[in-house]
Structure 1
Amino acid sequence: MVRVEQNAEARDNRARDHDFGLPPDPVAQTEKVVPDRGRHVSRETDTQHGTAAQEAVADTALGRKLVEENKRRAKLKQTKIDPPAETRYITISNQKGGVGKTSTSVNLAVALAQQGQNVLVVDNDPQGNASTALGIPHGTDVDSVYDVLIDETPIVDVVQESPEMENLWVLPATIDLAGAEIELVSVVAREQRLQRALKEYAKAREERGEPRLDYVFIDCPPSLGLLTINAFVAATEVLIPIQCEYYALEGLSQLLNNINMIQKHLNPDLSVSSILLTMYDGRTNLASQVADEVREHFPEQVMNTMIPRSVRISEAPSYQQSVITYDPSSTGALSYLEAAVELGARSPKG
């Protein structure tokens, strides 16, 4: 006959972790089945064994990571994001593809909406990936940003509410938007089309008695054409995601030069308020070196939060979800929640 020695606290922790979708408590793995030969084992011995096991697990890399993440989650639960004094229009842009622009747009929007903020995502990329991730249909028969820019259709007639979260709206993109670059060339005031449409939408919401938007995120294509210029003119802030890899800073100087030109000629209120380091892999020296280099060049703009390289972040869009709703207990979701809190606390001027 055998007797299972269990620690009550470890059992409670397992139940709690199951409820919140957290990985099993590694301390629970240290429970052992011991032979019962009529020998008395004191309660003090059990306690000493449990304490030693906890200390042993906490001293492992996995244990330290779990302890750290639990502290971060506890801190987030005590944090509240206050709405900004006025709507913040934020363009998320980088001319390099694959750096996490759309993931950043989608997950920051969902994180802020989860905190009670009223958020609009403008999918300004012909690929329509942000629309997909937020569960918005964007076939060729759907009115989209194209109709707003080319036909001056009011946003109020095009915008859709996302099933991801309450108080989250999406202005979808369709493949038609790919032709907008050419069609806008001959249009009067072509650079101000999106800006004017967003102002009219804000006014329409007020007239209909709808709550004011707190955040507007504009997801841009990986180029510096008229779609991106429209996004720069419509925004007051630029958030630049930078991948923590060798080519991170390539093209950044050109992007900053273009932003300076927009500031001088079209939108003097525009500023680079935030730079977010994405796809960070702490196991490599290269990621740390890139992060240090970016912080050295842009000490005020670089956010403290870094987004890790995560399979969950990559998987979520295929289920038409953000990582925050797809796997709330993942490290990627935790990092984007922290980034949203930091963005909410940051000054629009960085």
Structure 2
Amino acid sequence: MPIPVPVIEDEEVEAPPPPPPKEIPPYGTKEWIQYVSEIDGHLPTPIPVSITGSEKYSCPPLQWYNFDVYPHKVKLTNTGFTALIGAKWRTERPYIEGGPFLEKHVFSQIHFHWGANLMEGSDHIVDNRKHPGEMHVTFFRSEYLTQEEAFQHPDGVAIFCYLITHGLEPDPRLEWVIEGFKRVQESKNYTRIGPRPMSKLIPMFFEDYFLYWGTLHTTKGKDFVCRWIIPRCVLSADEDQMKQFHKLWDPYDEPIVRNFRPLQAKEERTVFFISPHWSQYNSLLPLPKSLPETSISILSQEYATKPWMLPPQNAYMMSEQTKKDDDAKAQRTSDEKQMITDSSDK
């Protein structure tokens, strides 16, 4: 006869206390902009943008560091989907601070979107209007070390989206990039261009831009939360410049004619209009006709205290005193060598 097994009742376990409610940052702070990522970050992109559909919000001025410093090399790659620009510096790379950012964000890469004609091509529409193209400049939070790691965090990546409008004259900012297209016609090819500092391609601004949160859906099928920034300043390419993009081939040796993403609904998400300053009759502002415009890039403390780290093309940034000190040091070295030579001759 089987021995009955006594049933041991589970001791009553108290449920863990609920986590304390998340403290919402006060409206008007940069922390509140970051908090909105938790509400809107899952929504798809790109979306329509306009002044009337946005919320005015104040932030400190954006600060651009080292964008006038010449890179060691600039590489242009035909990925088979877009034209991609990467650059390397021997020392510190360009970065941004201030504005809506709580932390330093470093420059990562640039790529382009375009269409089959001048009536399409931009990811975003502004004031219900499409434009021939769009240039995306990617930055990532410096503490994450790489863009790949930064994409794993909702505060990791910011993408600056510059509309490329149709102009009657070629845009000199784009000219040195387009010049390299003929060397990367086939997919997966790359070449060196320039090098030129990023300020020769990227329009810089203190204020007056749109910002929203949304998901980047990649060609590999992955989704990442990003901060999207749309400046009111634009690039302005003529028809011939935009046709040069069609000379790039996809992996099947067909011209890349359309690589812009389908427009998504804005839904109930917040689009910030950060620190508006200029005329608000139109959402976009043209670049000044007279180029080059005055640069607003700042030299970082690293370069300012160690000017010898600057590449030769940036020698003009060194103060006159630094030049004199370097000349004096070189002269002392030369004199010492001469004294040694004279002593050996004796």
Normalising to structure 2: TM-score of the pair? 0.21
| Structure with the largest fraction of strand | 2
Of structures 1 and 2, the larger Rg is shown by 2
| Structure with the largest fraction of helix | 1
